[in-house]
Structure 1
Amino acid sequence: MNEQPEPLRRASSLARGSNRGRLVEVLRRQGPLPRVELARSTGLSFPAISAITSKLMAEDLLCEAVTETATVWPDDTDEEDTDGLNGRRRGRPAVSLTLNPEFGRIIAVSLRMNLIETLIADFSGSALAQSRLELTTRALDAAALCDLVIAQIDVMIDATATPRDRLLGIGIALQGIVDSDTGRHLWSPALSITDVDLATPVRQAFGVEVVMANDAVAVALALAAAEPALAQGLTATIMVGHGVGMGVVVDGEARDGAGAGSEIGHVKLAPNGPQCRCGQRGCIEAHLADYALYRDARTFLDLPPAVSQQPSEAQMALLRARARAGDPRLEQLFRQAGHALADAVATTISVLRPHHIILAGPGLQAFDMMRSAYEERLERAVLPWLLKSTAIHVRPSESATIVDGMVRRTLRVVDRNHMETTE
């Protein structure tokens, strides 16, 4: 038999890898499914699904999950067998396939102001253990930062008795500007150092893929996974809390490289406005982020100083409580924050025209006090027909969402790499 020419062999291999990847992606999105439903969801024939799943099960990437219920299909065996499903549609115990949780482990690290949070998950994305380390992050130099991240990863490995060869990938989310292509941290308000190669030392320490992303991208992925309706089309998530950032996902997935994360918080509202942590003045963040609100409140209230200029959750909760109690100066402060939030949303709509905007992060716990000023400003700042084309959702997410989203991002990269290297 004549061999296929090289271009045809390569195209055939890519097609097989694409089909395997499509199947794994469906299981990640929908959970355990019987082979019949996998065929429908992927658009592949039943024989193709059988061949692919047999190989993935032999690799221990998939396993069977047997349910007690029976799935009854219409008796259509007299119809033409166009999809290879006839004869397999009568009621019998439904045997679903699922991603094998024991295939490997993923570790996600979130580095933000005065906190390093670490989570280890199995191959299905379920969390196994988590840790939080509070420290003064701006006191770290480059070597200490890398050593500390590696040590926290080791803590997760030891806590779950994970063999080193079962570790598949590590994801690191940072507050600030990240070059995800090179794995370099360029700038972050959480650190006093800039332009640090964080990915290479971690990769050398553990011998696995290291995925870097802005923390707003991780939040965007976690929210899109939790609410599939928000994953349709282009979704921009504006993260408000310690700072103000934006993550962009398309159909529930982050773009690779530049463009996935945006520093919307450093768009200038007024050249001579309040001081921003980036060193410039008048940024959206300087009106809206927690540190800015607390800093401005201290000019007229007797409040204790924040550690490294970053107020704690308790300090921000106290500030919100006093504003809701009727302090007119704090009420005005949150109205100004509402104006800044509206400017961030207006800029996003005008530039990206997203299908969805999600306003997320702990800073949105004060949205009730920003809302009227935000809505008034937004109506004046955006063309009416543009405003109507974007659905806006408010989700005051918890910090754990960052590591959840980073697990998801890292798993997608691991899936893709595994499909490419096994074909």
Structure 2
Amino acid sequence: MNLSNENRLLLYCAQAEITQDMLNEVKHLTNFPLNWEEVLEAASWHGITSLLYHNLKNIQKIPRDIMNHLKNAYFGNIVRNLYLYSELNRILDKFYKNDTEVIVLKGAALAKTVYRDIGLRPMADIDLMVRRENLPLIWKLMPELNYGLMGNKPPEWYIENHHHLRYKHMEKPILIEIHWHIADKSHPSRIRITDTTIIESWWKRSKLLEFEGKKTLILCPEDLLLHLSLHFLKHRFIKGRFTSKSALIQLCDIYQTLKHYGGKLDWTELKSEAEKYKVYELINLTLCIVRDFWGDNKDIFAYALKDFSLSSSNYRKQLELIKSKIFLREDPLFDGFIPLLKADTFQKKLKVIIRKIFPRSHVLSKKYTVSRSSKKLYLYYFIHPFKLSLKYGKLILRISNTKKWTREEVTLNKWINPRG
């Protein structure tokens, strides 16, 4: 892939245990002038800021302000995750005292197992799976834990039309998602597994794990890999549009799972389950993306993909198209046009443009992490317009490529959602 040095750095660092060869590549990249603002923004977009710190912390050439930003993000993530695990412990205690089994999903399970460092895996919320028949009890228990149901419909509506309930703590910034399935009718048809037998089999194969002294359940390695692969694809298609938001951390989840479980994975079982629910090619495609990104560990991928092959040229086409879009972020510059469009006179439009090019000192200070009292700040009044011109140039290029972009979006949406 033809990646910028900034994106190559992100890709190399988007893993928990970097090889010596890749570390040498990272050190080599830091010899070049890098757009560190772009690196930080992209790392945040992909959810890998902590991983970036983890792999750069011993390299001397990283600018001090950049390293401080990464360090603060990493330790901030540790504090938040400890806070979330404490809350998870409280919830598990309540559920198990009421004879309600729980499978801990995604980030909360991964940070403790395949990452082995809770600071490396960010968690926006806590995802839990319960049995569907226990949902009436959950409605009673969650308010007792000081959580309120999000949304403006009764729980019965979500059970009929959705696959999880979302709860928000009444006083703390904590979100809990209570799942009873992994998909619903709103998802693209190719990943719309609504058959309940898959969930029943997950419960049967789930494994015990101890969380802060409390025993709970996690998915077995094969089901975890299937779930993570489908989760990655599901989150690429939001409201009919492809997005790369959090793509690298989701792919890293898969890579770390492969590395952690290695030869313990039952590939025959995984293949059988994938074929049963008609997602064989999808799992294969996702594993191929991971291999193409981090294929330095040949033993893992030779074993992982020995029973898989992309039998369709259509799937190979989607593979290359998705890979090409992973490093394209939605340009926040589009949001900047909203005030411009709202301005109803030439004078107001001109004022918006001038404020965009020459923002107030506190805005500039925050954007470039420069103290408002520093003389350096005046330098950025020259740098900022130049950087904006580069962004506008990209925007103009994107507008000129609208037909190509639209064609790719249509191709991907027809592929992931052939039945609408």
Instruction: Tell me which interval the TM-score lies in, with the shorter structure as reference length.
Output: under 0.3
Q: Which structure has the larger Rg over C-alpha atoms?
A: 1
Select the structure that is richer in helix: 2
